[in-house]
Amino acid sequence: MAEVTNNENLDNEETEVVSKNFIEQEIDKDLESGRYSDIMTRFPPEPNGYLHIGHAKSIILNQGLAKKYNGIFNLRFDDTNPTKEKEEFVDSILEDVQWIIGGEKPPVYYASAYFDKMYECAVKLIKKGKAYVCDLTPDEIREYRGTLTEPGKNSPYRDRSIEENLDLFTRMKDGEFEDGAKVLRAKIDMSSPNINMRDPIIYRIAHISHHNTGDKWCIYPMYDFAHPIEDAVEGISHSICTLEFEDHRPLYDWVVKECEFENPPRQIEFAKLYLKNVVTGKRYIKKLVEDGVVDGWDDPRLVSIAALRRRGFTASSIRMFMELSGVSKSNSTSDYAMLEYCIREDLKMVKPRVMAVLDPIKLIITNYPEGQVEELDVPNNQENPDMGTRKVPFSRELYIERGDFMIDPPRKYFRLYPGNEVRLMSAYFVTCTDYKTDENGNVTEVYCTYDPETKSGSGFTGRKVKGTIHWVEATTAKEAEVRLYENLIDEEKGVYNEDGSMNINPNSLTVLDKCYVEPCLAEGAPGDKYQFMRTGYFCLDTKDSKPDHMVFNRIVSMKSSYRPDKK
């Protein structure tokens, strides 16, 4: 549904169409009805891996809502499960979240800081007759739970007295029992059609140290009990989560109600972001890292946030992508090409357009004075004159792309071939006169003559050429390594096989180790981004690039198969 508002700042009759997603519509209703007066959202990652582009969706959504409604956005580490979490991920998550939302540091909380409160809530439930200690084994609990079509049956321990439950729960906390010997369960309804409501476990015994609370606890709360309490304690208004939690919502509501939180939060679910033929799940990314298919969590072929950043994606391009892909209540898959469109759009007008030759062969201009190097004025971005110009050296010997010359070209090939004239970008017209090959027939050098009258910017209109090629001056060019990427997944076969293994594309990485770039690039800093004219957008690698050995990652090629206006 689109809401049309008159924008009073405009003198003319223009109207601004603000379309609201379904979550915003719900928030509007809640504000109108007075259910909430302040909006507070959160992003609650489990610190058990690096964040990926799916998490970015949740971060941008939650932070965006808080911003839109002048509310507060919290980052909360959901560190209630001591078996899986590692402190090392906390720093990377904080860095990634901050980067995605544009630099500001959100308030940071730890779910483990609420363990006392959660314990207090559990005791409250016991006292209300709403929770009991159960001695069934895990297998028995499963058996008693029933199935989707059959109701469960009551545990024989369900009717323990409040006193006995309080005593047993205290002794669980005091470490008297082994792991798995007892659990605390909510007393709800073993015949509920929703399995999550069949007396779910809310506390379990685990004699494990916790990275934050050490050995203080040997009982830990289960997610479905802990999460609503975390939200309620922080004063979250809208607890936004992904669709798989829809069936858990009745339990969420039960917990905040029975624990008697005032003005409790409300859970709203949205569909996860999936990218076609791209590995997004934390578990699967982890496997690629552990199996050595990629070289670490920030390998530029991955879509972890660290990897996207290293590859050269900007936070604003990722935000634009989320804007375009929208927020929905039903699962769908987005195209990676749309993300590529966003980064091209983001860099197009603001990054320098420079020349780099990825697969070089020599071009020798036989009528250009030997030993002379002239400096040409070249615009930094043809579409954005505000970016000014730079000096680019030009001389008798240049490098051009191997693919820009053919001995025997097909029809409609407008680049260099014997007898043909082309423009050297921002320089002169040259006509190919000859070439040299090695013993295998590979071209090693191309010869040509230039016409001094045709200098770019001189106003020459004498004749036209159909092809323009890029080049770099041979004696001043800097050598560089360039890494080209393809999808990590073999797209013909899809991501996963039936056994859960992945179809890896053997050509996902191509390393070109002898490329030549304009000398000005030697001044670049890691993370700097450029358009290499005709070949794409590139980023100086933040990990491997050194002043004496530049390494560029190709973020994306120039060509686009995606248009936002076409499906």
Binding site for ligand ATP (CB under 6 A): 44-46, 54-55, 57-58, 241-242, 272-273, 280-283
**C-beta of 243: minimal distance to ligand ATP in Å?**
9
Nearest-angstrom CA–CA distance, 284 and 54: 13
The answer to whether 221 touches 80, Cβ cutoff 8 Å, is yes
**C-beta of 443: minimal distance to ligand ATP in Å?**
48
Give me 524's structure tokens: 């670049």
The answer to whether 516 touches 362, Cβ cutoff 8 Å, is no
SS (H, E, C) 328-365: CCCCEEECHHHHHHHHHHHHHCCCCEECEECCEEEEEE
**Residue closer to ligand ATP (CB basis): 57 or 301:** 57
The answer to whether 32 touches 23, Cβ cutoff 8 Å, is no
**Residue closer to ligand ATP (CB basis): 266 or 554:** 266
**Residue closer to ligand ATP (CB basis): 55 or 554:** 55
**C-beta of 59: minimal distance to ligand ATP in Å?**
8
**C-beta of 93: minimal distance to ligand ATP in Å?**
8
CA distances (Å), origin 137, targets 142, 217, 223, 241: 9, 22, 20, 31
Give me 341's structure tokens: 């469109």
Nearest-angstrom CA–CA distance, 155 and 260: 26
**C-beta of 244: minimal distance to ligand ATP in Å?**
8
**Residue closer to ligand ATP (CB basis): 117 or 272:** 272
Q: What is the four-CA torsion angle of 459, 464, 466, 471, rounded to 10 degrees?
A: -40
Q: Which residue is nearest to ligand ATP (CB)?
A: 54
Give me 484's structure tokens: 């080209």
**C-beta of 45: minimal distance to ligand ATP in Å?**
4
**C-beta of 281: minimal distance to ligand ATP in Å?**
4
User: HSE-up of 307 (CA within 13 Å, CB side)?
Assistant: 22
Where b means 16+ CB within 10 Å and e means fewer, 144-182 reads: bbbeeeeebeebebeebeeeebeebbeebbeeebeeeeb
